[in-house]
A and B are shown apart, each in its own frame.
Chain A
């Protein structure tokens, strides 16, 4: 069976389809090019960090630092923006990689629990972002080509960011599906003892997932700065939880050992979509929901999808 639609991940695709259908039927402008492209532009950030998180969680780990690392990378990219995209993009990703290397060193090297190690990086990245930016948003250089990434669209419809995100998704998917590294990632999460006995390079795989997650967070930060015209040191709070939620909704167990990259993408889009639909509902004026209440509704939605998953018969979820 193709990996995209494995039975356990079906619920997230069904939910996604149902919500899209609901939106198309209920709101006039939902299917408009404008909504689609702004939706994809905004959510490309969440797609990349969720995919990074997905690989980490497959090993049974967690990366709490992605939100503040993205904020840090947005500051770094904004500061480098006068040099153009060619410098600012790699610069932002490098900031993310650095944070990922820190995580990898603590987890694979010093054997610290991922929760603690990435919590430390989360705080460190926040501090670094604030001190680099002097606690202010850092405007980008509009004269350079830096904002083209976040603001230009292919055929006036697809933002460049979602296309870049797609490349990341495909890369992660190929790694998981086709490489021995990907097998090792799943084997560590499934049974670390057995993976070790099999002579698999478990450390290398751990280093890889944290580097990758860091790079993804860095890329999301570049998207942020490029798409919204500023490096934002205070952005990114709670993104790690959104990413974890996307991974879980996509059917990946927090204990690791299984999971799906495409379903994680669907999970990330699903969350963005709930937000999007609530905005439309607000726009109709039937009732008005504050952002706080939208968050509550998203939480409820997460619960429903997870219950749905359990119902759709995934024995592993019960254990």
Chain B
């Protein structure tokens, strides 16, 4: 075999002294569809950003088409033939498909004007090649996202890219569109173009990829042909277990054993569906009980929380509170029903950056804090004071803008925001992610205390330890469905991993 198209060896990168990549290796053959997998924080995106010239590497070598190269900017990477299709499209939706395909590379007539005939011919050639049948004179934005994405891919391919990087290309596509995309990927492959395919969805990797490189804790821990792997092998590699261990653990007891029933049921979902990412959610949440929700990235955990909290409209299934069917059509209705949802994404869904700690903490509580619309500020200050002490929020004073606080303290404020409304059910999506160890313990202690007081908790977490030690029951999701319910005490990590990977092992 000749030398690979791309060979990255021993890549290192640190941010502010914290290593993000300790030993990144990646090798991609010509005409191969390759994937890089790893849990959050494994160093996946750092490695790819070094390849595309967004970051500079600290150490290691990059060989591209047999020569050692140093790609110092996205532009240089592009010029070398490495094109990236980003999750958010970077084309111009108001302009026509033709204009987008030739943008920046317009064919010119003898007089230096754009040769629209040649441009259209080029566009049609690209579209034909991928079997996309659309009117190229219409604005790009008038087409569905999937088509736009395909046009972006077509544009990259028409620029003679040798390697196309696709970052989570299916995140906004439906099943049929995913099929079309895979067809295009196979067509690219047939033409000798390599594709680096990044996805949280392991099934997609097994569908379309030839090779896969696994990263864990900033190191490449494996690179293999997909055909030689089972899904369980791949998961084991990502998580740092041996597949044999997981398989054996799976042989022991899996089914939920009878256990003392918790308090009364607060909320129950029966076959709740909101779309492709959440196909079937069965969940019973009882007072005084923590239910953990486990699953790989993309298994539908966050979507489950969104559906419960009235953020996504259900297309099927039922939601029951106290035995009665309810419909929570928006977050306000959910809050009124006694639900609270600490979202995973603090920045976009949580904090109001310019408001103070005090104002952020009492936002959800405002209706109860105000009389005739006027906020009882004395009472507000007392409550905030109480939470700052109880949760240990470190702020100069309660009127400090929340953006000036550390991540852990912002998270505590947000947790306080929801605790203040004394919810019956607290949904926590990765409550301790990006939070330092000390704050993490404190946050966990606060949650436990609330549960003892009778609050029901749904805990979404990627950390096995947190789930196994914290949750009474653990519900496992796969491909948008709840598949298994494990009951504590007695759940082991290997059992949990097996349940998460069960589809692949079967």
Residues of A within 8 A of B (CB): 1, 174, 178-181, 183-184, 186-187, 190-191, 193-201, 257-258, 316
Contacts and interface: CB of A to CB of B under 8 A. Distances in A.
Task: Kindly name the residue among B330, B341, B374 whose own CB sees the greatest number of chain A CB atoms within 10 A.
Answer: B374
Contact of B331 (A190, A197, A257, A258): A197
Contacts of B334: 199
B335 A199 contact: yes
Nearest to A174: B374
Interface in B180-235: none
B354 A183 contact: no
Contacts of B245: none
Contacts of A195: 352, 363
Interface stretch (B65-73, B92-100, B364-372, B382-390): B364-372
A180 B370 contact: yes
Contacts of A181: 373
Contacts of A194: 348-352
B354 A180 contact: no
A1 B374 CA distance: 20
A interface secondary structure, majority: helix
A258 B356 CA distance: 11
List of 8 A-B pairs having minimum Cβ-Cβ separation, nearest first: A199-B332, A190-B352, A199-B335, A258-B354, A180-B366, A180-B370, A198-B363, A179-B373
B336 interface: yes
Interface of B: 309, 311, 330-332, 334-336, 341, 343, 348-355, 359, 363-364, 366-367, 369-370, 373-375, 377, 399, 417
B364 A198 contact: yes
Given A197-B311, A197-B331, A198-B331, A316 B363 contact: no
Given A195-B352, A197-B331, 8 more contacts: A183-B363, A184-B366, A190-B355, A198-B331, A199-B331, A200-B332, A257-B355, A258-B355
Nearest to B306: A197
A197 B349 contact: yes
B335 A193 contact: no
A193 B349 contact: yes
A193 B352 contact: no
Nearest to B346: A194
A1 B400 CA distance: 10
A151 to B, nearest CB: 36
Given A186-B352, A190-B353, A180 B367 contact: yes
A232 B311 CA distance: 49
A178 B352 CA distance: 17
Contacts of B359: 183, 186
Nearest to B367: A180
Contacts of B330: 196, 199
B355 A187 contact: yes
Contacts of A174: 374
Contacts of B354: 186, 190, 257-258, 316
A174 B341 CA distance: 30
Contact of B355 (A186, A193, A197, A201): A186
A184 to B, nearest CB: 8
Given A178-B377, A180-B373, A197 B399 contact: no
Contacts of B341: 197
B108 to A, nearest CB: 37
Contacts of B309: 197
B370 A201 contact: no
A199 B366 CA distance: 10
A201 B367 CA distance: 10
A257 B354 CA distance: 6
Nearest to A182: B375
A200 B353 contact: no
B455 to A, nearest CB: 18
B352 A199 contact: no
A260 to B, nearest CB: 11
Contacts of A190: 352-355
A257 B311 contact: no
Contacts of A198: 331, 335, 363-364, 417
Contacts of B417: 198
A190 B373 CA distance: 20
Contacts of B374: 174, 178-180
Contacts of B331: 196-199
Nearest to A188: B352
Contacts of A193: 348-349
Contact of A201 (B332, B349, B369, B377): B332
Contacts of B352: 186-187, 190-191, 194-195, 257
Nearest to A258: B354
B349 A180 contact: no
A1 B356 CA distance: 12
Given A178-B374, A180-B370, A200 B363 contact: yes
Nearest to B373: A179
Given A180-B366, A198-B363, A201-B332, A191 B353 contact: yes
Nearest to B404: A315
Nearest to B341: A197
Given A180-B366, A181-B373, A183-B366, A197 B343 contact: yes
B104 to A, nearest CB: 28
A174 B370 CA distance: 13
A187 B402 CA distance: 13
Contacts of B349: 191, 193-194, 197
Contacts of A316: 353-354
B364 A191 contact: no
B335 to A, nearest CB: 4
Nearest to B347: A191
Contacts of A197: 309, 311, 331, 341, 343, 349
A183 B355 CA distance: 9
Contacts of A180: 366-367, 369-370, 373-375
Nearest to B421: A199
Contact of A191 (B348, B367, B399): B348
Given A257-B354, A316-B354, A199 B373 contact: no
5 contacts: A178-B377, A197-B331, A199-B330, A199-B331, A257-B354
A180 B371 CA distance: 9
A101 B399 CA distance: 34
A193 B350 CA distance: 8
B364 A179 contact: no
B336 A191 contact: no
Contacts of A1: 399
Nearest to B370: A180
Nearest to B377: A178
A199 B355 contact: no
Contacts of A187: 352, 355, 363
A48 B180 CA distance: 58
Contacts of A196: 330-331
B332 to A, nearest CB: 4
A198 B309 CA distance: 11
A121 to B, nearest CB: 26
A196 B348 CA distance: 12
